[in-house]
Amino acid sequence: MLCKLSISNIKKSFKDYAIYFITLILGVCIFYIFNSMDSQTAMLTVTSRQNEMIELMIQLLSYVSVFVSLILGFLIIYASRFLIKKRNKEFGIYMTLGMSKRKISFVLLIETFIIGLISLVVGLLLGIILSQITSIFIANMFEADMTKFTFNFSKAATIKTIIYFGIIYFIVMIFNTIIVSKNKLINLLQASKKQEKIKLKNTIICVILFIISVLMLGTAYYLVTEKINELLKYEVSILLVPISLGVLGTAIFFYSVAGMILKILSKCHNLYSKNLNTFVFKQISSKINTMVISISIICIMLFITLCLLSSAFTIKNFFNESINKYAPVDFELIGYYSDETKSININEFIEDDNIIKNNTKDITIVTDYYDKNLNYGSSLGEYENEVRDRYPNVRYDSPVYIIGVSDYNKLAKIYNCDTIKLENDEYAIVSNYETDIYKEVINRDSIINIFGNRLKPYKKIIDGFILIGVNPTNLGFFVVNDNIIENDNKHSQILVGNYSTNDEKVIEDIENKIENYKPIFTITKDTKLEIKEASVGLSAIVTFIGLYLGIIFLISSSAILALKELSDCLDDKNKYRVLRQIGADEKDINKSLFKQTFIFFMLPLSLAIIHTIFGLKFCTFILSSLGVNSILDGSAITFAFLIAIYGIYFVITYMCSRNIIKERN
């Protein structure tokens, strides 16, 4: 009997449940997709290095899943509270008919169970279908070949999803029972008649608080952008200052913004008293005032999403582009001189093996040197003391290396960089790291001492590098004329070259030989393929975690806004009836509803976007150590994502609420 009641309840209110259902299904679906990576990647032909990366990614995603399930748990509890509130009268009627609270809880329990079951099944099915498509995407990310398309299904992920969501639904059931048992019959029956108390706020206090919030946010923005260098002198925990300023500022902003703007608008008499505008503004302000905390959380979640996704996409794009630029040769071997090994012939690696010898070209060998009196500090010349004051945490005693100009030009040719010519009393700095320090050194024409020669700087910094890598992190190599160099101070011998074959088997063979080459001297080895695989793997991990969290945050924020808007709409049905009675046109009523929904969705997003503008500056600063200059590429894709998910929720919400307020004769 009670089961029948539950089922008919669900059928009846299916429309009202739509947003709730969609959110649950999406939650389950995404949870499954990101937890079934193991089966999605199983069919990829990958190297062992890529495999390690994939395993790392799967592990990280499973940690993130715990966090995600927490967020989804809160969201679902929040959503079910809305739905219960809506049904107060129904429960009241059950109680007057003599149904005990325990039985009502039981009805709810069954409903939660059925909804949970349906959403779980549909979500899983959708997840399994979509994971077939995402696996193609993953193969693309790892630049791996998908040899054959096979249907993938992850039993482990399915079980995990069921367990996690089972727990969430179980907690929701407990919450529902508590809510029902705490309700009084009179409140239940009169819930719909209860008049809304408008939270009146003192306008002057609102204005003051608004100014304070703007100041707080401004300070936080200023700290993470203009003052970032000074800020990072201290411990990382100093970042808590701008973060807490930002969070608090956001909350105070939403606490005061409605009162503040309403005050201003009510002075613009013509706008305020035009058509239904009075109604629209008042509705929104009361809506915002009743959910300051939620709307602040939504704003911050949107902000995190935007920054996270932008950074993730930027990193991905950046790696793809920069590898070709900063690793222009296929392999690089560096042998280091030491007290034991005074002589190195790294060329023997090529010469001693016919396969290697016949399948490589452009072999270039250069040597770099050190001067024990020259370190990063002293290389700055007279500028050193100033820099030391500004950046006390840099290691100024780390050595800098010196290369002869003829050797440099040999490398420059193969790297497709410009060759240089130096005067006898000149030195040049080769660097591609984004910093103005060496620029300033050159501006000051500061004389430094290399191998006992007083040298003045070449007219500009040479944008280039000696060692291949994934990003421009060459702080500075010093180039001097060959005759200055003291041969006793050899640091290392560097060999670079390219493959002359396209045969993948041969290349793989040589790669293995490079990997296993163990001469008597210390050696480091890099190949373009290896760099590529590592960085592709890294960018894939960052992108997936960014996507996972980003989508969950987006869904949560949109769902909360949508549910609030819909439940308000149900409460406000009578208001729209009144509007019709005093003669408002249907078109104007819909317009007012659209404006309300739009502003309600846009407000947290707007502040989040402003946060993001400054947040991204901070992200760019952090990412600049990788060599990323612009985060704009990533932002474009992110906004596309945002508009898709947020937009869908917005449209559904508007459609549903229009349906709710429609009068049926």
Partner 1 sequence: MEKILSVKKVEKYYGSKSSLTKAINDISFEVEKGEFVAIMGASGSGKTTLLNMISTIDKVTSGHIFVDGDDITKLKGNKLNKFRRNKLGFIFQDFNLLDTLTGYENISLALSIQGISYKEQNKRISDIAEKLGIKAILNKYPYQMSGGEKQRIASARAIITNPSLILADEPTGALDSKSSRQLLNSFEYLNKELNSTILMVTHDAFTASYASRVIFIKDGKIFNEIHKGAESRKDFFDNIIEVVTLLGGDLNDAL
With H, G, I as helix, E, B as strand and everything else as coil, classify residue 363.
strand
CB of 649 to partner 1, least distance (A): 24
Does residue number 664 form part of the binding site for partner 1 (CB under 8 A)? no
Does residue number 197 form part of the binding site for partner 1 (CB under 8 A)? yes
Angle at 137 between CA 132 and CA 142, to 5 degrees: 125
Of 412, 465, 464, 462, residue with least CA distance to 439: 462
Does residue number 574 form part of the binding site for partner 1 (CB under 8 A)? yes
Beta-carbon count within 10 A of 230 CB: 11
Pick from 12, 15, 85, 274 the residue near partner 1 by CB under 8 A.
274
Does residue number 626 form part of the binding site for partner 1 (CB under 8 A)? no
- Judged by CB, which is closer to partner 1: 234, or 598? 598
Of 337, 347, 349, residue with least CA distance to 521: 337
Pick from 1, 66, 186, 200 the residue near partner 1 by CB under 8 A.
200
Does residue number 600 form part of the binding site for partner 1 (CB under 8 A)? no
Angle at 422 between CA 417 and CA 424, to 5 degrees: 160
- Judged by CB, which is closer to partner 1: 213, or 592? 592
| Bridge partners for 526 per DSSP | 332
Pick from 273, 398, 419, 512 the residue near partner 1 by CB under 8 A.
273
Pick from 586, 613, 629, 647 the residue near partner 1 by CB under 8 A.
586
- Judged by CB, which is closer to partner 1: 4, or 587? 587
Residue 436 sits at φ, ψ, to 5 deg, of -100, 0
Q: In whole angstroms, give the CA distance from residue 546 to residue 256.
A: 32
Pick from 3, 7, 14, 196 the residue near partner 1 by CB under 8 A.
196
CB of 206 to partner 1, least distance (A): 16
Q: In whole angstroms, give the CA distance from residue 537 to residue 531.
A: 10
Does residue number 583 form part of the binding site for partner 1 (CB under 8 A)? yes
CB of 201 to partner 1, least distance (A): 12
Pick from 343, 393, 483, 581 the residue near partner 1 by CB under 8 A.
581
Radius of gyration (Cα) for the chain, nearest Å?
32
Does residue number 473 form part of the binding site for partner 1 (CB under 8 A)? no
Torsion, Cα of 393, 399, 402, 408 (10° steps): -60
With H, G, I as helix, E, B as strand and everything else as coil, classify residue 480.
strand
Stretch that binds partner 1, among 76-84, 96-104, 352-360, 583-591 (CB under 8 A): 583-591
Does residue number 582 form part of the binding site for partner 1 (CB under 8 A)? yes
Stretch that binds partner 1, among 178-186, 196-204, 314-322, 352-360 (CB under 8 A): 196-204
Pick from 195, 237, 483, 516 the residue near partner 1 by CB under 8 A.
195
Contact 365/495 with Cβ under 8 angstroms?
yes
Does residue number 283 form part of the binding site for partner 1 (CB under 8 A)? yes
Residue with tokens 């291949």: 468
Contact 530/49 with Cβ under 8 angstroms?
yes
The torsion region of residue 472 among left (phi > 0), alpha (psi -120 to 50) and beta comes to beta
CB of 564 to partner 1, least distance (A): 15
Residues that bind partner 1 (CB under 8 A): 195-198, 200, 269-270, 272-279, 282-283, 285-286, 574-575, 577-588, 665
